[in-house]
Amino acid sequence: MRVVHPLADEWTEQYAVFVADTSTVLLTDPLQSFLDWSVSEGLRPVLVSGPDVRLSPFASLAMNRAGGFWAVKESTGVFDGLTGLPISSFEELWTGTKAEGARSGSFLTPSDDPRGLLSYDIFGHQRAVAETRVGRLAETVHDTLGGDPLAVWGLTEPLVEPFGIDAVTESARRGMPESPTMHARANDGSFCDIQVGRTRRGILEHVAGGVPIGAYPDRLAPLVEAATRTLMAVESSHQPTIGFVSVAEVAPGVLQRFGVRRPEAPLAVLIGPRAVHELAPQVEQLKQNHDVLELGRKRLPSLLVRFSRTDLGSWSQLMAFAADLGLDRVREVAGLGTEN
């Protein structure tokens, strides 16, 4: 007897498969349910699509959170959706085994219309009191990066509810001790995921998203300044733990396409007071070796590290910063572990 699974098109003891048959993959309720089920069962989620399919930013973020993989079927074979390398089985997506054959032709030439996105990933603490509101951190980031106001939100796409701080806060409260991921979008394509979890010190709010900036830029200096202004605004209006701003290449419509694209380039990172206090012995060395701004209170500052040197690539600067500081150590002292 053939068993029909309500969520997966195929499944084994290692992975589960979701086949997309639309031109754009949205984070619909069926896809979100598939990802939730895969994670709960300890399976690797695999999204299968054709080569002309585009992923919405919410689908891409959800796949990343679930540890998912993307396989693309062409007439010449099946390929890794992120690298364009051929695969002969889904297991090769995570084992690193290389199948014979050439990379997909979609990865041989860059896009003729690359678009830029200021991407961010920021954590901030709040007190767990009746007056606490969820969503204002996202508003601060979008306003300062130059995005339109967030207009609609929901738990899955399509997003139809008018965005409001009170509604988002109530949804977060109902989901505690760990809220569902709430998705918000603006009229210009700006987008944001918002998630909140309880900690020993209050609640930890996590916002991740992006603001489109038109054609992919040929100069990073203005973007470093935009990232600096944004993280300074976050520091002055919220209680940041850690935050990153970078620039990424996306397809028109703020979508992810199957094809070659530039790697995401880091612009700046903000380290909140708690982490700076724990890392105090290394702070002076960081200020000597990197473009560092000290923000906030003198006795309990935050550090804003800008990857602004034109003689070094932004990834080289990030790697040098990580080597000096140790990002695993930052995550630990910033309170991002599950026991905090």
| DSSP classification of residue 197 | E
**By C-alpha distance, which of 69, 75, 5 is closest to 33?**
5
Averaged pLDDT for residues 238-266: 92
pLDDT of residue 299: 73
Q: Tell me whether strands 54-55 and 256-257 are parallel, antiparallel or unpaired.
A: antiparallel
DSSP-assigned states of every residue in 65-95: HTT-EEEEEETTEEEETTT--EESSTTHHHH
Among 79-93, 148-162, 289-303, which is the least confidently predicted range?
289-303
Listed residue (268, 304, 311, 300) closest to 286, CA to CA: 304
At 116 the pLDDT is 96
Between 213 and 263, residue with greater pLDDT: 213
Q: Which band of pLDDT confidence, cut at 50, 70 and 90, is reported for residue 154?
A: very high
Structure-model confidence comparison of residues 107 and 293, the more confident one: 107
Contact 210, 248 (CB under 8 A): yes
Pairing of strands 191-199, 15-19: unpaired
Instruction: Say what the pLDDT of residue 309 is.
Output: 62
Contacts 24+ apart (CB under 8 A), 76-80: 76/101, 76/104, 77/101, 79/103, 79/104, 79/258
Residue 158 to residue 177: CA distance in whole angstroms: 26
* Average pLDDT of span 283-297: 71
Strands (E) located in 200-298: 202-215, 240-250, 256-257, 265-271, 291-296
Side-chain-facing half-sphere of 237: CA atoms under 13 Å = 15
Q: Which pLDDT does position 3 carry in this prediction?
A: 44
Q: What's the predicted TM-score (pTM) here?
A: 0.88
Q: CA nearest 254: which of 6, 11, 12, 58?
A: 58
Give the residue, 158 or 340, on which the prediction is more confident.
158
* Distant-in-sequence, close-in-space partners of 335: CB < 8 Å, separation ≥ 6: 125, 199, 201, 204, 241, 274, 275
The reply to whether omega before 281 is within 30° of 0 (cis) is no
pLDDT, one tens digit per residue, over 292-319 is 777 877 777 888 888 876 555 555 666 6
Which domains does the chain show, CATH number per domain? 10-107 (3.100.10), 115-333 (no CATH)
